[in-house]
C-alpha cells in the first residue's frame, strides 16, 4: 500500500514533477560528465604534456660541456653509474642516455649527438620526420639529422654522412630528417656506441633524459627514487614542464568542482520551487490522510519516498547521459575519448537523491495541516 500511494502521487502531479525530473536529469548529466572528465583529465593532460618531451634529466654534478679537443672531460658520467635507472622508474618509461660532441661534417662544425635512436620518437612525439625513424638502438649504420643541418650539408634521406672528430671518422646513412622546431634541428643524431667510439668516450654519457608518465607527483616520486639510487649524479625534474602541468591540472579541477557546486545549487533551487507549489496543492490530501488516522511520520515517509524516487530516477538517466557528454568533451578538448568511469554512476545517483531530498524541505509545512480545517473547506 505504501508504494502504491507513492506511485499514485507521482502520477497525480505529473505536470509539476516533470519540471523537477527535468532539472534533476539535466543536473545529473552535467555532474556525471564533469566527474568523468575530472577522473580522466589527469591522464589526458599528462599525455598532452608528454608531447613536450622529457620531464626528468640525469646529469653530472658539474655542468656538461661539449668535448672539442679530446676525450678528457670531467663533466661526463660513466654508464655504469646509471645501471639503476631502469629499476627505479615505472615500466615502459621512455628514456635515453645522450653524449654530445662538437664534430665536423662535410667540413662544417656540427653538434653530434649519440643516443638510443629507437627512443627518440617516444621522448619527443611532436618531432616531425621526413623519412624513417631508427627502429633499433643497435643499428650503428643509420643516423638522423636536423632539418637545418641537412640544408647546410646538402643531405637528403638515404645520403651518406661522414662525421669527423679529431683524427677519427665515422660514416652513417641518413635514415630521416627531423623537424623539431628547436636547437635539435641543427644536430646530427648517431648511434650512442658509434659516437662514443668516434670520440674516444667509451662508456661516457653527457646526460640522460626521461619522460615519466603520471603527472607531477609521479615525476617527483621517480626523481626522488633516482636520487637515492644514484647519489653520484644530479637528478632534477624539468620544472617548467612539471610545474606547468601541476598548476594547469589544479586550475582545471578547481573549475570542475566550482561548476559541480553551482549545478547542485541550481538543481536544488528548481526542485525547491516545484515542491513548494506541490505542498500547497496537497494540503487537502494530507488533511484527509490525517482524518483517516494516518500518522504524520507515515505521511511524511510517503512524500520523502516520492522525492527519493525522483532523485534516483533523475540520477540514473542523467548518469547515462553524462557518460556520453564526457565522451564528447574529451574528443573536443583533448581529441581523445574519455571513457565513463563506473564509480561515477553511484556517486551521481546518490548526489541527486540527496539534492532532491534537500529540495523537498517545503513539504515539512504539511505537518501543520489540521484535518478539521480541511474538512470544513478552509
Write out pLDDT tens, residues 200-226.
998 899 999 998 877 677 788 888 999
pLDDT level of residue 69 (50, 70, 90 thresholds): very low
* Residue 155 three-state SS: coil
Task: Provide the pLDDT for residue 107.
Answer: 83
Q: For residue 70, what pLDDT is reported?
A: 43
Chain mean position to CA 375: 63
- 51 within 8 A of 231, measured Cβ to Cβ: no
**Opening angle at CA 161, ends 160 and 162, nearest 5:** 125
Q: Where are the alpha helices (DSSP H) in 51-67?
A: none
How many angstroms separate the CA atoms of 180 and 328, rounded? Answer: 31
What DSSP state is assigned to residue 64? P
299 band by pLDDT with thresholds 50, 70 and 90:
low
pLDDT in tens, 83-105: 889 888 888 889 999 999 999 99
d(CA 179, CA 59): 25
| Whole-angstrom distance, CA of residue 206 vs CA of residue 63 | 9
Instruction: Find, among 190, 278, 198, 208, the residue nearest to 58 by Cα.
Output: 208
Q: What is the pLDDT of residues 119-170, one digit of tens each?
A: 999 888 888 999 999 999 899 999 999 999 999 999 999 999 999 998 899 9
168 contacts 118 by C-beta, under 8 angstroms = no
Rounded Cα–Cα distance for residues 350 and 343 (Å): 11
Residues ≥6 apart with Cβ < 8 Å to 147: 130, 177, 178, 179, 185
CA distances from residue 38 to 164, 263, 330 in whole angstroms, order as listed: 53, 15, 11
Q: For residue 318, give the nearest of 39, 24, 16 by alpha carbon.
A: 24
pLDDT value, residue 270: 82
For residue 24, pLDDT beyond 50: yes
Q: Give the chain's mean pLDDT.
A: 79
Please write the tens of the pLDDT for every residue from 335-353. Answer: 667 778 888 888 888 888 8
Structure confidence by residue, pLDDT tens digits, 239-280: 655 566 666 777 878 888 888 888 888 888 887 777 767 666
Please give the share of the chain, as a percent, with pLDDT higher than 90.
26
Amino acid at each position: 500500500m505504501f508504494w502504491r500511494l507513492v506511485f499514485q502521487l507521482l502520477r497525480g502531479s505529473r505536470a509539476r514533477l516533470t519540471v523537477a525530473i527535468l532539472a534533476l536529469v539535466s543536473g545529473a548529466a552535467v555532474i556525471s560528465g564533469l566527474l568523468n572528465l575530472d577522473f580522466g583529465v589527469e591522464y589526458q593532460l599528462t599525455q598532452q604534456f608528454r608531447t613536450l618531451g622529457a620531464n626528468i634529466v640525469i646529469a653530472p654534478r658539474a655542468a656538461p660541456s661539449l668535448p672539442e679537443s679530446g676525450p678528457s672531460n670531467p663533466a661526463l658520467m660513466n654508464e655504469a653509474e646509471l645501471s639503476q635507472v631502469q629499476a627505479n622508474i615505472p615500466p615502459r618509461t621512455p628514456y635515453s642516455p645522450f653524449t654530445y660532441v662538437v664534430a665536423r661534417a662535410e667540413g662544417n662544425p656540427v653538434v653530434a649527438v649519440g643516443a638510443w635512436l629507437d627512443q627518440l620518437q617516444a621522448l619527443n612525439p611532436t618531432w616531425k620526420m621526413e623519412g624513417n625513424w631508427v627502429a633499433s638502438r643497435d643499428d650503428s649504420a643509420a643516423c638522423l639529422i636536423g632539418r637545418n643541418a641537412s640544408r647546410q650539408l646538402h643531405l637528403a634521406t638515404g645520403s651518406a654522412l661522414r662525421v669527423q672528430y679529431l683524427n677519427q671518422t665515422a660514416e652513417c646513412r641518413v635514415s630521416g630528417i627531423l623537424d623539431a622546431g628547436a636547437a635539435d634541428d641543427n644536430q646530427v643524431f648517431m648511434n650512442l656506441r658509434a659516437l662514443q667510439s668516434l670520440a674516444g668516450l667509451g662508456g661516457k654519457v653527457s646526460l640522460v633524459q626521461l619522460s615519466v608518465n603520471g603527472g607531477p607527483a609521479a615525476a617527483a616520486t621517480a626523481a626522488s627514487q633516482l636520487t637515492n639510487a644514484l647519489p653520484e649524479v644530479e637528478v632534477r625534474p624539468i620544472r617548467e614542464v612539471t610545474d606547468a602541468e601541476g598548476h594547469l591540472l589544479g586550475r582545471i579541477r578547481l573549475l570542475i568542482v566550482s561548476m559541480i557546486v553551482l549545478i547542485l545549487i541550481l538543481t536544488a533551487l528548481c526542485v525547491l520551487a516545484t515542491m513548494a507549489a506541490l505542498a500547497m496543492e496537497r494540503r487537502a490530501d494530507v488533511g484527509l490522510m490525517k482524518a483517516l488516522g494516518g500518522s504524520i511520520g507515515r505521511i511524511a515517509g510517503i512524500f520523502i519516498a516520492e522525492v527519493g524516487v525522483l532523485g534516483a530516477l533523475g540520477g540514473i538517466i542523467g548518469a547515462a547521459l553524462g557518460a556520453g557528454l564526457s565522451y564528447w568533451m574529451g574528443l573536443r578538448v583533448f581529441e581523445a575519448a574519455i571513457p565513463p568511469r563506473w564509480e561515477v554512476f553511484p556517486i551521481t545517483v546518490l548526489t541527486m537523491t540527496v539534492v532532491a531530498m534537500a529540495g523537498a524541505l517545503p513539504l515539512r509545512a504539511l505537518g501543520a495541516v489540521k484535518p478539521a480545517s480541511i474538512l470544513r473547506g478552509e
